[in-house]
Amino acid sequence: MKKLLNIGFSLFVFGGFLVSCKADDYGTVQSIDKIKIDSVQLVNDTMNVLGIQRIKTYSTYQSQCQGFYGYDYVYDTDFNRTVTAYKFITNEPCAQANYAGTNQINFNPQKRGTYTLKFWSGGNNWITKTIVVE
Protein backbone atom coordinates (compact mmCIF):
# COMPACT_ATOMS: atom_id res chain seq x y z
CA MET A 1 0.00 0.00 0.00
CA LYS A 2 2.83 2.37 0.91
CA LYS A 3 4.51 1.64 -2.43
CA LEU A 4 1.26 2.41 -4.28
CA LEU A 5 0.97 5.77 -2.46
CA ASN A 6 4.57 6.65 -3.35
CA ILE A 7 3.93 5.87 -7.02
CA GLY A 8 0.69 7.87 -6.96
CA PHE A 9 2.39 10.86 -5.32
CA SER A 10 5.27 10.69 -7.84
CA LEU A 11 2.82 10.69 -10.76
CA PHE A 12 0.97 13.65 -9.21
CA VAL A 13 4.18 15.70 -8.87
CA PHE A 14 5.35 14.74 -12.37
CA GLY A 15 1.94 15.66 -13.83
CA GLY A 16 2.03 19.03 -12.07
CA PHE A 17 5.47 19.66 -13.54
CA LEU A 18 4.24 18.89 -17.06
CA VAL A 19 1.22 21.19 -16.68
CA SER A 20 3.33 24.06 -15.35
CA CYS A 21 5.64 23.98 -18.39
CA LYS A 22 3.97 25.65 -21.34
CA ALA A 23 5.04 24.46 -24.76
CA ASP A 24 4.70 27.97 -26.21
CA ASP A 25 6.70 30.04 -23.75
CA TYR A 26 8.84 30.83 -26.80
CA GLY A 27 7.63 31.31 -30.34
CA THR A 28 8.31 28.75 -32.99
CA VAL A 29 11.14 29.57 -35.34
CA GLN A 30 9.55 30.14 -38.74
CA SER A 31 12.66 30.76 -40.80
CA ILE A 32 16.39 31.42 -40.83
CA ASP A 33 17.84 34.11 -43.08
CA LYS A 34 21.04 36.08 -43.60
CA ILE A 35 21.37 39.35 -41.72
CA LYS A 36 23.88 41.94 -42.78
CA ILE A 37 26.63 42.87 -40.40
CA ASP A 38 26.60 46.65 -39.92
CA SER A 39 29.99 46.94 -38.22
CA VAL A 40 32.82 44.87 -36.76
CA GLN A 41 34.94 45.62 -33.71
CA LEU A 42 38.40 44.08 -33.30
CA VAL A 43 40.22 44.32 -29.99
CA ASN A 44 43.66 44.26 -31.69
CA ASP A 45 44.88 44.04 -35.26
CA THR A 46 47.95 42.09 -34.05
CA MET A 47 47.90 38.99 -31.86
CA ASN A 48 49.86 35.87 -30.92
CA VAL A 49 49.45 32.52 -32.61
CA LEU A 50 47.10 30.20 -30.65
CA GLY A 51 45.65 33.23 -28.85
CA ILE A 52 41.94 33.98 -28.81
CA GLN A 53 40.47 37.30 -29.88
CA ARG A 54 36.80 38.06 -29.35
CA ILE A 55 35.47 39.86 -32.42
CA LYS A 56 32.15 41.66 -31.99
CA THR A 57 29.69 42.12 -34.82
CA TYR A 58 26.70 44.46 -34.84
CA SER A 59 23.48 43.95 -36.80
CA THR A 60 20.08 45.65 -36.92
CA TYR A 61 16.97 43.51 -36.46
CA GLN A 62 13.56 44.71 -37.69
CA SER A 63 11.50 43.43 -34.75
CA GLN A 64 11.64 41.64 -31.42
CA CYS A 65 10.56 38.50 -33.32
CA GLN A 66 14.05 38.31 -34.81
CA GLY A 67 17.33 37.44 -33.18
CA PHE A 68 20.81 36.08 -33.76
CA TYR A 69 20.91 32.47 -34.95
CA GLY A 70 24.58 31.84 -35.76
CA TYR A 71 27.54 32.41 -38.04
CA ASP A 72 28.68 30.70 -41.19
CA TYR A 73 32.48 30.81 -40.78
CA VAL A 74 34.28 29.65 -43.95
CA TYR A 75 38.00 29.00 -44.36
CA ASP A 76 38.61 30.14 -47.95
CA THR A 77 42.38 29.56 -47.70
CA ASP A 78 44.86 29.24 -44.84
CA PHE A 79 44.65 32.98 -44.20
CA ASN A 80 41.28 34.10 -45.61
CA ARG A 81 37.97 33.79 -43.77
CA THR A 82 34.44 34.82 -44.69
CA VAL A 83 31.80 35.31 -42.02
CA THR A 84 28.06 35.50 -42.66
CA ALA A 85 25.56 36.08 -39.84
CA TYR A 86 22.11 34.51 -39.71
CA LYS A 87 18.95 35.53 -37.88
CA PHE A 88 15.91 33.55 -36.81
CA ILE A 89 12.33 34.78 -37.24
CA THR A 90 9.62 33.53 -34.86
CA ASN A 91 5.84 33.46 -35.15
CA GLU A 92 5.09 35.18 -31.84
CA PRO A 93 3.37 38.57 -31.61
CA CYS A 94 5.93 41.28 -30.96
CA ALA A 95 6.81 44.93 -31.44
CA GLN A 96 7.85 45.96 -34.95
CA ALA A 97 10.69 48.25 -33.94
CA ASN A 98 14.32 48.10 -35.02
CA TYR A 99 16.91 47.15 -32.44
CA ALA A 100 20.67 46.66 -32.57
CA GLY A 101 22.15 43.31 -31.65
CA THR A 102 25.72 42.54 -30.68
CA ASN A 103 27.25 39.11 -31.18
CA GLN A 104 30.70 37.63 -30.84
CA ILE A 105 32.91 35.25 -32.74
CA ASN A 106 36.15 33.91 -31.27
CA PHE A 107 39.13 34.03 -33.61
CA ASN A 108 41.80 31.44 -32.72
CA PRO A 109 44.55 31.36 -35.39
CA GLN A 110 46.73 28.25 -35.56
CA LYS A 111 49.45 29.63 -37.87
CA ARG A 112 51.53 32.77 -38.08
CA GLY A 113 50.64 35.09 -40.94
CA THR A 114 48.35 37.87 -42.07
CA TYR A 115 44.68 36.91 -41.92
CA THR A 116 41.95 38.60 -43.93
CA LEU A 117 38.46 38.33 -42.48
CA LYS A 118 35.48 39.39 -44.59
CA PHE A 119 32.10 39.97 -42.95
CA TRP A 120 28.98 39.99 -45.14
CA SER A 121 27.27 43.39 -45.06
CA GLY A 122 24.54 42.89 -47.66
CA GLY A 123 24.46 42.23 -51.39
CA ASN A 124 28.00 41.93 -52.73
CA ASN A 125 29.42 44.08 -49.91
CA TRP A 126 31.89 42.92 -47.30
CA ILE A 127 33.57 44.55 -44.30
CA THR A 128 37.23 43.55 -44.47
CA LYS A 129 39.48 43.30 -41.41
CA THR A 130 43.13 42.27 -41.32
CA ILE A 131 44.83 40.65 -38.33
CA VAL A 132 48.58 39.99 -38.17
CA VAL A 133 49.40 36.84 -36.18
CA GLU A 134 52.92 36.61 -34.78
How many Cβ atoms from other residues are within 10 Å of residue 112's Cβ? 13
**Segments making up each domain of the chain, as ranges:** 29-133
Neighbours of 17 (CB within 10 A): 9
pLDDT above 90 covers what percent of the chain? Answer: 73
Contact 115, 78 (CB under 8 A): no
Mean pLDDT score, 98-103? 96
DSSP code per residue over 47-92 = E-TT--EEEEEEEEESSTTEEEEEEEEEESSSSEEEEEEEEEEE-S
- At 25 the pLDDT is 54
User: Which pLDDT value is given to residue 105?
Assistant: 96
pLDDT average, residue stretch 95-122: 96
Amino acid identity, residue 99? Y
Per-residue pLDDT for 14 more than 80?
no
pTM listed for this prediction: 0.78
Which of 31-40, 87-96, 106-115 is predicted least confidently? 87-96
**CATH class of the 29-133 domain in this structure:** mainly beta
Which tops the pLDDT comparison, 75 or 15?
A: 75
Output the pLDDT for position 26: 61
